[in-house]
């Protein structure tokens, strides 16, 4: 009986630790998005590993490509922001996946002529030791789930 109780307590501690790590990962992403929405690109890349990869190659918009390292990621983000009057990101939902998060989001854009549009996408974000190591853009949640080896 003691072994069973000890195993149950250990399982509960593991779940609590996993929940705390997931919440910590969500907060890392939220801080990065808040910095992006303020136009604080130094604040964005602060939570990224020095050798992080931003895979924007599946983008249907401008600047599709793969960007490596904080400096290259920051340069890409600045060019992207410079293309619009305003860009704002909003998290719709986040789900824990192996090594990180799947984040559904909406981007709101206002062009120089005042035209407003929005785009929905999903990101797979890998996080290790409190730093984002990669962010990969997918057009749909289903595409991101499949890439993570999951399904709805």
How confident is the model over 88-144, as pLDDT tens digits? 999 999 999 988 999 999 999 999 899 999 999 999 999 999 999 999 999 999 999
Q: Is the pTM of this model over 0.75?
A: yes
pLDDT at 78: 95
pLDDT at 2: 61
The three state secondary structure string of 94-143 is EEEECCEEEEEEEEEEECCCCCEEEEEEEEEEEEECCEEEEEEEECCHHH
Sheet with 86-97, side-by-side order of all strands: 66-68, 48-55, 131-138, 116-128, 100-110, 86-97
pLDDT tens for each residue of 15-45:
443 445 589 999 999 999 999 999 999 999 9
Domains and CATH numbers, the chain: 2-147 (3.10.450.50)
């Amino acid at each position: 009986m003691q072994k069973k109780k000890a195993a149950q307590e250990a399982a509960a501690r593991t779940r609590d630790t996993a929940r705390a790590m997931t919440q910590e990962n969500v907060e890392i992403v939220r801080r990065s998005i808040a910095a992006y929405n303020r136009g604080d690109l130094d604040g964005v890349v602060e939570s990224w590993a020095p050798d992080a990869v931003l895979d924007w190659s599946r983008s249907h918009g401008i600047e599709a490509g793969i960007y490596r390292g904080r400096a290259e990621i920051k340069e890409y983000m600045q060019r992207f922001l410079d293309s619009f009057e305003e860009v704002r990101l909003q998290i719709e939902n986040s789900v824990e996946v192996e090594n990180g998060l799947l984040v559904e989001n909406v981007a709101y854009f206002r062009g120089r002529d005042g035209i407003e549009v929005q785009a929905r996408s999903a990101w797979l974000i890998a996080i290790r030791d409190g730093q984002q190591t990669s962010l990969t853009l997918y057009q749909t949640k289903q595409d991101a789930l499949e890439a993570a080896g999951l399904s709805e």
